[in-house]
């Protein structure tokens, strides 16, 4: 059995968007599942629009997603000599020819064809003229003029194209730059690519590419065209449906595993299972389970899945994704053990890493600021005695563990004849500044004895200063 070789060939004319990321993911997963090879190729023949910044953004996105490549990145702009070699083969075999028709002449051909009810296309005027290469000449492929070209698609099934619908398309422009259909075929041939998984917007290009393969006498790859990703209004996914680039989702606090999990489910399924880890996807991914219906991108479903991945991820693993968000808030803490403890208190209540950061700020503050409403409701004179007693109880604890902490709270409750809520909420506000937070004992465990005592004493001083004079 041949080694499966797939590829992902983005154009560096912008950021990597979620549709492209899904294409990369499908190819990568299939290569990994089949223990094959995944090639990265940069299609940068569009000199005006291609930029190094876009290349870097694409590489950065793939690396963040964890989509690694076995070969590349190859750049089409560095492969012109290879394209020339294959164009010459097509010219020598009579499967391509030079054409000097002007754009005005071609436009006239199309108008005449439309007037007579035919498809507007180039009519092959230069095909048999034997024109030599000139500065203004393009190279056209001599398409089959009769019969059908069959695309055997592993996802969509067989698709037949009438060859009369295909014109003699340009494979090299007058400036010597190869067109997409020529370059992609030559690249796939020379790189040994034998499995092409891509969006179904490429279906109409495929019969032209098949004819080039046949003209060169090369075996066709396996084709699989996946349905497009649509917005929730079922129109083609665009910026109006929300953030589009992979890096935008990274900056919004999504985990790469969650985005990959969501993208793979836009067109692929494994029973009713929704939540997947990467190793599971590699184990289970096949082309057989890719559907024929378009995937509908839903931000809310992605957010929910992201929350599930935050909850399921080991805190140690989350730290590397979380630290950039802390640094944005000018928090530089390299105590990973402390960060892990914080995550353990917040991972079940955070939908994204921004939520996690906002919820964790009180852990890093030297001085706690109290929310006005929280202080007004919970820092009343009646809270003074319970807080003072609790502070003394905690100071007396030698073995600072949860059992001894619970015992300290019970003693306060018994001494002051109050229920837990009457002491827990003032303590919560004293430690966090807010009325909503992780569990009291979780917080105390993470902050440590000295910080807890310091914050309780500050709250006591605040209440004393705020209390009305007798």
Q: Considering the domain 372-466 in this protein, what is its CATH number?
A: 1.10.10.350
Q: Where in the chain is the domain with CATH 1.10.10.350?
A: 372-466
Integer Cα distance of 263 and 254 in angstroms: 13
- Domain 313-364 falls in which CATH fold? Helicase, Ruva Protein; domain 3 (1.10.8)
* 3-state secondary structure string across the chain: CCCCEEEECCCCCCCCEHHHHHHHHHHHHHHHHCCCEEEEEECCCCCCCCCHHHHHHHHHHHHHHCCCCCEEEEEHHHCHHHHHHHHHHHHHCCCEEEECCCHHHHHHHHHHHHHCCCCCCCCCCCCCCCCCCCCCCEEEECCCCCCEEEEEECCCEEEEEEHHHCCCCEEECCCCCECHHHHHHHHHHHCCCCEEEEEHHHHHHHHHHHHHHHHHCCCCCEEEEECCEECCCCCECCHHHCCCEHHHHHHCCCCHHHHHHHHHCCCECCCCCCCCCHHHHHHHCCHHHECCCCEECCHHHHHHHHHHHHHHCCHHHHHHHHHHHHHHCCCCCCCHHHHHHHHHHHHHHCCCHHHHHHHHHHHHCCCCCCCHHHHHHHCCHHHHHHHHHHHHHHHHCCCCCHHHHHHHHHHHHHHHCCCHHHHHHHHHHHHHCCCCCCCHHHHHHHHCHHHHHHHHHHHHHHHHHHCCCC
Question: Can you give the pLDDT at residue 129?
Answer: 92
Answer yes or no: 152 catalytic: no
Encode 356-395: b = buried (16+ Cβ within 10 Å), e = exposed: bbebbebbbeeebebeeebbeebbeeebbebbbbbbebbe
Count how many Cα atoms sit within 13 Å of the Cα of residue 261 in the half-sphere of its side chain. Answer: 23
79-226 CATH, one of 3.30.70.100, 3.40.50.11540, 3.30.420.40, 3.40.50.620: 3.40.50.620
Question: Can you give the pLDDT at residue 114?
Answer: 84
Digitized pLDDT (tens) for each residue of the chain, 470 residues in all = 699 999 999 999 999 999 999 999 999 999 999 999 999 999 998 888 899 999 999 999 999 999 999 999 999 999 999 999 999 999 999 999 999 999 899 889 888 888 887 788 898 899 999 999 988 999 999 999 899 999 999 999 999 999 988 999 999 999 999 999 999 999 999 999 999 999 999 999 999 999 999 999 999 999 999 998 888 777 777 666 666 799 999 999 999 999 999 999 999 999 999 999 999 999 999 999 999 988 889 999 999 999 999 999 999 999 999 999 999 999 999 999 999 999 999 999 999 999 999 999 999 999 999 999 999 999 999 999 999 999 999 999 998 888 889 999 999 999 999 999 899 999 999 999 999 999 999 999 999 999 999 999 999 999 998 866 55
Q: Where in the chain is the domain with CATH 3.40.50.620?
A: 5-77+228-305, 79-226
How far is the CA of 194 from the CAs of 197, 221, 223, in angstroms? 10, 4, 9
Q: Where in the chain is the domain with CATH 1.10.8.70?
A: 313-364
- What are the phi and psi torsion angles at 426 (to 5°)? -60, -35
5-77+228-305 CATH, one of 3.40.640.10, 3.40.710.10, 3.40.50.2300, 3.40.50.620: 3.40.50.620
The pTM assigned to this predicted structure is 0.91
Question: Can you give the pLDDT at residue 402?
Answer: 84
Question: Can you give the pLDDT at residue 466?
Answer: 81
Question: Can you give the pLDDT at residue 469?
Answer: 53
Given the residues 111, 119, 129, 239, the one annotated as active site: 239
Integer Cα distance of 340 and 446 in angstroms: 10
CA pseudo-torsion sign 337, 339, 342, 343: negative
Question: Can you give the pLDDT at residue 147?
Answer: 95
Structural tokens at position 370: 């109290």
Q: Are 93 and 62 in contact (CB under 8 A)?
A: no
């Amino acid at each position: 059995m041949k080694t499966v070789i797939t590829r992902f060939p983005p154009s560096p004319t912008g950021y990597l968007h979620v549709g492209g990321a899904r294409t990369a993911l499908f190819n990568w997963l299939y290569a990994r599942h089949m223990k094959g090879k995944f090639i990265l190729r940069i299609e940068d023949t569009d000199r005006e629009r291609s930029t190094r910044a876009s290349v870097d953004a694409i590489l950065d996105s793939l690396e963040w997603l964890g989509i690694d490549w076995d070969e590349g990145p190859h750049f089409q702009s560095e492969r012109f000599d290879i394209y020339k070699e294959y164009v010459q083969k097509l010219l020598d075999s009579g499967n391509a020819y030079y054409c000097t028709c002007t754009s005005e002449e071609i436009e006239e051909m199309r108008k005449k064809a439309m007037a007579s009810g035919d498809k507007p296309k180039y009519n092959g005027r230069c095909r048999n003229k034997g024109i030599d290469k000139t500065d203004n000449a393009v190279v056209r492929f001599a398409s089959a003029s009769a019969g059908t070209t069959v695309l055997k698609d592993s996802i969509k099934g067989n698709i037949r194209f009438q060859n009369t619908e295909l014109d003699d398309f340009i494979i090299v422009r007058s400036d010597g730059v190869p067109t997409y259909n020529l370059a992609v075929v030559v690249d796939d041939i020379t790189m040994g690519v034998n499995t092409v998984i891509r969006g179904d917007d490429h279906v109409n290009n495929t019969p032209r590419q098949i004819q080039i393969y046949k003209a060169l006498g090369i075996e066709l790859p396996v084709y699989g065209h996946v349905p497009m990703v649509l917005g929730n209004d079922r129109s083609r996914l665009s910026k109006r449906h929300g953030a589009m680039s992979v890096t935008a989702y990274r900056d919004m606090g999504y985990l790469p595993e969650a985005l990959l999990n969501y993208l793979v489910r836009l067109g692929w399924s494994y029973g009713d299972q929704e939540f997947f880890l990467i190793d599971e996807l590699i184990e289970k991914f096949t082309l057989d389970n890719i559907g024929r219906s378009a995937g509908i991108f839903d931000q809310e479903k992605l957010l929910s899945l992201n929350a599930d991945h935050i909850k399921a991820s080991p805190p140690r693993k989350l730290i590397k994704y979380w630290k950039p968000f802390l640094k944005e808030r000018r928090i530089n803490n390299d105590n990973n053990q402390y960060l892990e403890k914080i995550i353990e208190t917040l991972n079940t209540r955070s939908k994204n890493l921004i939520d996690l950061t906002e919820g964790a700020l009180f852990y890093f503050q030297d001085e706690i600021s109290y929310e006005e409403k929280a202080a007004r409701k919970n820092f009343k004179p009646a809270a003074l005695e319970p807080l003072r007693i609790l502070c003394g109880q905690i100071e007396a604890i030698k073995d600072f563990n949860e059992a001894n902490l619970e015992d300290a709270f019970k003693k306060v409750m018994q001494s002051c004849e109050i229920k837990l809520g009457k002491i827990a909420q003032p303590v919560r506000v004293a430690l966090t500044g807010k009325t909503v937070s992780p569990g009291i004992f979780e917080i105390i465990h993470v902050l440590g004895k000295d910080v807890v005592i310091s914050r309780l004493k500050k709250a006591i001083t605040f209440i004393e200063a705020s209390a009305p004079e007798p």
